[in-house]
Amino acid sequence: GGGGGAGGGGAGGTGAGSGQGGGGGKGGTLQRAAGGKASRSIEEIKLVFERNKGAIYAIYNRALREDPSLQGKVVLKLTIAPSGEVADVRIESSELKNPELERKLLARIKQFDFGAKAVEQIVVTWPVDFLPS
């Protein structure tokens, strides 16, 4: 996986089978829609999460001040529309046990933009680990 050339416009998605889903077991699982349309790659989704990591952790760190023991894994289920918008996001499982924090995280993640692409709407399950830095 040679570092994926940044933001290559996504046109003509014929990159057949490149970027075999490495990522050391981390990263989410992709439920591919039926139909021969291209799909979003785990790499693309990972990039968006990386780009928005600061915003997510800012929310977490604020909550951490009130509850220093707050940590754990949150598994998100995102529905990403072809427009790049997050059509739906919910929490599959959470070790945080803090509904207010989870609500804020969902609201922020709903603002992610995955970029418009000629692809099917996809559902992604994505784990995020929240640990005090």
Name all domains of the chain by residue range, CATH numbers in brackets.
Answer: 29-130 (3.30.1150)
User: How many CB atoms neighbour CB 2 within 10 A?
Assistant: 6
pLDDT for the residue 133: 78
Residues of the chain with pLDDT under 70: 1-37
Residue showing tokens 């001040």: 65
pLDDT for the residue 34: 54
Q: What's the length of the chain?
A: 133
Q: Indicate the pTM of the whole model.
A: 0.71
Radius of gyration for the alpha carbons in the chain, expressed in angstroms and rounded: 16
pLDDT for the residue 68: 95
pLDDT for the residue 125: 97
Are the C-beta atoms of residues 76 and 125 closer than 8 Å to each other?
yes
Quote the strand ranges of 11-80, DSSP E.
Answer: 29-31, 72-80
